[in-house]
């Protein structure tokens, strides 16, 4: 059973983010980039499927040259093929990215397309559902358990106060949630083998797409700002419980503006 895993290359979640000049992008200078954590879960699901049923795992990314690092990491963890669509993905919105991925996926033999439920770079959670619509595939999102049969898949997903169980045929789009699995670490043998795998490099035009359409943003960033610095805690004398309670209510109402 063949899988495609769409991965995004995002700033390390431990990074200190700075805003670039102009106030619409982050400053990438000196930033460490990693595979988006939810995409790591999606990759692990695909590798386990390959181990259980055979087939190929192709990792796919759309982004600048640095994104090839993410592909090599995925190959080291068990994927065996890789495609890199080169382009400034940061200049495209979610629909533009989905169009590129859909065009690439059509060129790759597959039964299942995996993604993380969202890329932690933007946290939009839009590319997976958009991709399903463009390809005309059923979609199961924020999945926490998967069972593959002959030509079908059963998926469990958490909803508010309950668990939903869905079944559909293949091909299908699956977006992964925490709890689906525990991603493995790359072993030395895998790292060495990954260096020998040829990455299939494509341009947007190679996929028959018009770059101006891909980069024609329907959603534009007006500005981005860092959250306000957290202030220190405030200690209230509790020796007089009634006075302390009154002080807390006053603080919540007048300063925190929560009432």
Residues 4-29: what's their mean pLDDT? 87
pLDDT value at residue 170: 95
Residues 39, 179, 112: CA angle, nearest 5 degrees: 50
Average pLDDT score over the chain: 90
45: pLDDT strictly greater than 90:
yes
What pLDDT does 38 receive?
95
* Residue-level pLDDT at 223: 87
Residue 215's pLDDT is: 81
Give the pLDDT of residue 237.
Answer: 84
CATH 3.40.50.620 residue ranges in the chain? 3-214
pLDDT at position 80 is 94
Give the torsion sign (CA, 100, 103, 108, 110): positive
CA distance linking residue 51 with residue 79, whole number of Å: 11
Closest-CA residue to 154 (of 174, 182, 130):
174
pLDDT tens profile 98-123: 999 999 999 999 999 999 999 887 88
pLDDT in tens, 47-66: 999 999 999 999 999 999 99
User: How many C-beta atoms lie closer than 10 Å to residue 73's C-beta?
Assistant: 21
How far apart are the C-alpha atoms of 23 and 225, rounded to whole Å?
Answer: 7
Task: Note the pTM of the prediction, 2 decimals.
Answer: 0.84
Across 72-100, average pLDDT: 92
CATH class of the domain defined by 3-214: alpha beta
- Cα 217 from Cα 224, distance rounded (Å): 17
pLDDT tens track for 143-188: 999 999 989 999 999 888 899 999 999 999 999 999 999 999 999 9
3-state secondary structure at position 89: helix
- Burial code (b: 16+ CB inside 10 Å, e: under 16) for 88-112 equals ebeebbbbbbbbbbbbbbeebebbb
179 or 215, higher pLDDT: 179
Residue carrying the six token digits 């090839």: 68
- Tell me what the mean pLDDT of segment 189-216 comes to: 91
The C-alpha atoms of residue 141 and residue 192 are separated, in whole angstroms, by 34
DSSP string, 32-52: -EEE-HHHHHHHHHHHHHHHH
Query: What percent of the chain is modeled with pLDDT above 70?
Result: 100
Q: Which of 25-34, 85-94, 177-186, 227-236 has the lowest mean pLDDT?
A: 227-236
26: tokens are: 């982050």
| 126-140 average pLDDT score | 96
pLDDT digits (tens, 9 = 90+) for 223-255: 888 887 777 777 888 888 888 888 888 888 887
SS3 (DSSP) at 193: helix
**Six token digits for residue 50:** 């390959």
């Amino acid at each position: 059973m063949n899988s495609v895993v769409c991965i995004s290359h995002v700033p390390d979640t431990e990074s200190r983010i700075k805003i670039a000049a102009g106030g619409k992008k982050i400053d990438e200078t000196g930033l460490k980039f990693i595979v988006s954590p939810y995409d790591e879960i999606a990759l692990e699901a695909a590798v386990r499927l390959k181990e259980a049923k055979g087939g190929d795992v192709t990792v796919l990314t759309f982004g600048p040259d640095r994104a090839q690092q993410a592909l090599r990491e995925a190959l080291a963890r068990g994927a065996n093929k890789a495609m890199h669509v080169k382009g400034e993905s940061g200049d495209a919105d979610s629909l533009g990215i989905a169009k590129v991925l859909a065009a690439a996926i059509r060129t790759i033999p597959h039964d299942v397309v995996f993604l993380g439920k969202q890329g932690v770079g933007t946290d939009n959670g839009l590319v997976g559902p958009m991709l399903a619509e463009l390809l005309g595939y059923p979609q199961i999102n924020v999945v926490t358990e998967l069972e593959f049969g002959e030509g079908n898949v059963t998926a469990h997903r958490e909803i508010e106060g309950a668990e939903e169980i869905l079944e559909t045929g293949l091909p299908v789009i699956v977006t992964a949630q925490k709890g689906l699995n525990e991603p493995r670490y790359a072993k030395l043998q895998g790292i060495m083998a990954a260096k020998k795998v040829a990455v299939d490099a494509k341009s947007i035009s190679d996929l028959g797409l018009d770059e101006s359409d891909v980069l024609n943003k329907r959603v534009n960033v007006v500005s981005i700002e860092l959250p306000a610095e957290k202030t220190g805690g405030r200690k209230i004398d509790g020796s007089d419980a009634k006075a302390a309670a009154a002080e807390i209510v006053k603080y919540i109402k007048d300063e925190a503006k929560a009432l």
